[in-house]
Amino acid sequence: MPEENNRPAPIPQPESDYYWEQAKAGKLVFQKCGACGSVQFFPRVLCTSCNSTDLEWIESAGKGSLFTFSIVHQPPHPGFRNAVPYITAIVELDEGVKMPSQLIGIDPEPEQIEIGMRLELAFEELNDSISLPVFRPVG
């Protein structure tokens, strides 16, 4: 098997099955609490603010801004050997959720990347069941 196919993929859990199904369909969803209104990512059984189980799924419009980033030069796993250097990032969606992701479509050079830059959703297909939400610069 080629090394690029050995990249580890997320393993959906019961609380995240819906999230991964939607990602495979090209949609990014997050949870909103019906009791206190908090939004959260990643998917959980309970609201992280009030412990309510009254959570609903909200589809993101797929726009956000760069909260922080790091350029990865050392592969964290042999499956990433052909991917480095790449940009790992925390993206703040316009809906208020902060999520870990990866930036694409931009050189992994610090002078090319700006905190607060506008980003839009894209997907990277890892395998038959997992598509990863990633982000690229708007425009």
Instruction: Provide the binding-site residues for Zn ion, judged by CB under 5 A.
Output: 33, 35-36, 38, 47, 49-50, 52
Min dist CB 34 to Zn ion, Å, is 8
Q: What CA–CA distance (Å, rounded) separates 100 from 89?
A: 6
Which residues contact residue 28 at a Cβ distance below 8 angstroms, ignoring those fewer than 6 apart? 22, 59, 60, 62, 93, 121, 133
Nearer to Zn ion, 23 or 29 (CB): 29
Min dist CB 55 to Zn ion, Å, is 8
Nearer to Zn ion, 33 or 99 (CB): 33
Q: What CA–CA distance (Å, rounded) separates 135 from 85?
A: 16
Min dist CB 33 to Zn ion, Å, is 3
Query: CB–CB of 131/125 below 8 Å?
Result: yes
Nearer to Zn ion, 52 or 82 (CB): 52
